[in-house]
């Protein structure tokens, strides 16, 4: 795939002043084949509209509902109104902290698609599962649960091994590439255009390890947590993605 994706997930971090600092630090090369976006906390979506052009916006989550009596929820169509093109669905932190079920994730995928957003579906195994050698089966099962019934027409996947998130322990390029090959194989069975779904890696990606990950044949980009909070380090990851395309 001759394109790269670098998406920053700010999680529950940031402030209005940090958005302004990030915006000053972010270096965006004009018109490249690297798709760049930030998923800030909802209250900062408006302020992020002033980010340098070429940096898009993503939601960190969306409601399964479009409207109604659902206090605290934000719909996919609201995210779209604020300029989001993508929305993260099924992040492991939500699956764990908020007990999001496969059924709910399917409903959120459907809500995102109905609102014209491209979902970024997260999958990934825990340390216990990897240590028991069941990681491929676990990730295949997550894909089947999310995509068997109504595969979205447009989709990104992020493979985020839970043991690599926020730990400083990145999956090795070999581990990431091997799992991405498994995901590609599973997607081609589940979806007509599964061969062209961009596959992002997430879990302790930083400017030092991004280049080796982007050089993996099955890795099309990164979903970046901690290192996306600093505009300079995020820019360096974007530049590593650009360099991997030039090779
Ligand atoms: P870190 O890059 O902080 O490990 O977070 C990864 C992640 O969960 C992105 O969604």
**pLDDT tens per residue, range 179-209:** 999 999 999 999 999 999 999 999 999 999 9
Contact indicator for 9, 223 with CB cutoff of 8 Å? yes
Q: 122: part of which helix (H) or strand (E)? A: strand 118-123
Low-confidence ranges of the chain (pLDDT < 50): none
**What DSSP string runs through 71-87?**
TT---HHHHHHTTEEEE
Contact indicator for 32, 242 with CB cutoff of 8 Å? yes
pLDDT at position 234 is: 97
Please name the residue that has the structure tokens 């995210």. 79
Question: pTM higher than 0.85, yes or no?
Answer: yes
CA 93 – ligand 1 centroid, Å: 10
- For the CA of 228, the nearest atom of ligand 1: 2
Residue 91 designated active-site = yes
Contact indicator for 98, 60 with CB cutoff of 8 Å? no
What is the Cα–Cα distance from 102 to 106, expressed in whole angstroms? Answer: 6
Segment 48-89, tens digit of pLDDT: 988 998 999 999 999 999 999 999 999 999 999 999 999 999
**In 3-state terms, what secondary structure has residue 34?**
strand
Contact indicator for 221, 37 with CB cutoff of 8 Å? no
pLDDT at position 246 is: 82
Instruction: Out of 136, 160, 236, 239, pick the active-site residue.
Output: 160
Residue 239 designated active-site = no
Nearest one of 232, 147, 142 to 179, comparing CA atoms = 142
> What domains are there in the chain, each with its CATH number?
4-246 (3.20.20.70)
């Amino acid at each position: 795939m001759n394109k790269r994706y670098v998406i920053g997930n700010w999680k529950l971090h940031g402030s209005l002043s940090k958005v302004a600092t990030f915006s000053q630090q972010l270096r965006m090369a004009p018109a490249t084949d690297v798709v760049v976006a930030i998923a800030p906390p909802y209250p900062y979506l408006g302020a992020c509209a002033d980010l340098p052009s070429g940096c898009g916006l993503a939601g960190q989550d969306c409601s399964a509902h479009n409207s109604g009596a659902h206090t605290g929820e934000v719909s996919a169509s609201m995210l779209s109104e604020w300029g989001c093109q993508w929305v993260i669905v099924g992040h492991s932190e939500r699956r764990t902290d908020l007990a999001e079920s496969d059924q709910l994730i399917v409903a959120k995928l459907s809500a995102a698609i109905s609102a014209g957003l491209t979902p970024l579906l997260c999958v990934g195994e825990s340390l216990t599962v990897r240590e028991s050698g069941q990681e491929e089966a676990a990730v295949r099962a997550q894909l089947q649960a999310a995509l068997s019934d109504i595969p979205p027409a447009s989709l990104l996947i992020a493979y985020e091994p839970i043991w690599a998130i926020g730990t400083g322990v990145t999956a090795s390029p070999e581990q990431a590439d091997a799992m991405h090959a498994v995901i590609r194989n599973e997607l081609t069975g589940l979806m007509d255009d599964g061969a062209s779904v961009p596959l992002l890696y997430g879990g302790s990606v930083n400017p030092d390890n991004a280049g080796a990950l982007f050089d993996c044949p099955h890795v099309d980009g990164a979903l970046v947590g901690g290192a996306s909070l600093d505009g300079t380090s995020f820019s360096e990851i974007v530049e590593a993605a650009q360099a991997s395309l030039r090779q």
